[in-house]
């Protein structure tokens, strides 16, 4: 019998989770760096202290297979009610099995539970088609794009939070 993946909140003081998330992040963002020809992107240069700060300041969910962190996502809700979701990562061997979608749903539920989230927002690079496809499948629509340089345009996607039900923004 195989093990099940469990999703839970990563505690701000969980040193083991922080270290595993950082290692997983480094692994997962290699493919993004390759797509855009830029290995200096923030997820590849983030320090453990910076990640600990994110654990303390926002909501970080992890998916574990036994004791191993195999996926993670982060989110915060600002004063205007915009829930910002970021750094959704899934171990390469666990991709294409629905885990990213489960984590996305879980962070939306968690951030929306207090009723303060009016909309959900996330972003992706324009060439990250698998990411964009996942977000569209979960009701996100592109609301803006910003050209960073010759290699990268950042696409911002959003959807509204409506009484516990999430619908795509028009």
Q: Which domain holds residue 152?
A: 5-168
CATH number of the domain enclosing 151: 3.40.630.30
What is the distance between the alpha carbons of residues 43 and 58, in angstroms, rounded to a whole number? 17
**21-79 pLDDT per residue, tens:** 999 999 999 999 999 999 999 999 999 999 999 999 999 999 999 999 999 999 999 99
CA distances in angstroms from 42 to 25, 46, 73, 124, listed in the order given? 10, 6, 15, 13
What is the rounded end-to-end Cα distance, in angstroms, of the chain?
45
What is the distance between the alpha carbons of residues 152 and 36, in angstroms, rounded to a whole number? 7
pTM above 0.75, yes or no: yes
Domains contained in the chain, number: 1
What is the distance between the alpha carbons of residues 85 and 94, in angstroms, rounded to a whole number? 20
């Amino acid at each position: 019998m195989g093990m099940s993946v469990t999703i839970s909140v990563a505690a701000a003081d969980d040193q083991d989770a922080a270290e595993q998330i950082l290692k997983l992040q480094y692994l997962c963002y290699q493919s993004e760096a390759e797509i855009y020809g830029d290995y200096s992107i923030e997820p590849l240069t983030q320090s453990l202290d910076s990640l600990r700060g994110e654990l303390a300041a926002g909501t970080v969910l992890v998916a574990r297979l036994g004791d191993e962190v195999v996926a993670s996502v982060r989110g915060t809700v600002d004063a205007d009610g915009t829930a910002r979701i970021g750094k959704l990562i899934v171990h390469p061997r666990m991709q294409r099995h629905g885990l990213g979608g489960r984590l996305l749903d879980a962070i939306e539920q968690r951030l929306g539970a207090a009723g303060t989230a009016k909309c959900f927002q996330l972003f992706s690079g324009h060439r990250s088609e698998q990411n964009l496809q996942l977000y569209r499948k979960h009701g996100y629509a592109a609301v803006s794009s910003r050209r960073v340089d010759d290699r990268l345009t950042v696409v911002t996607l959003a959807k509204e939070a409506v009484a516990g039900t999430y619908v795509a923004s028009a």
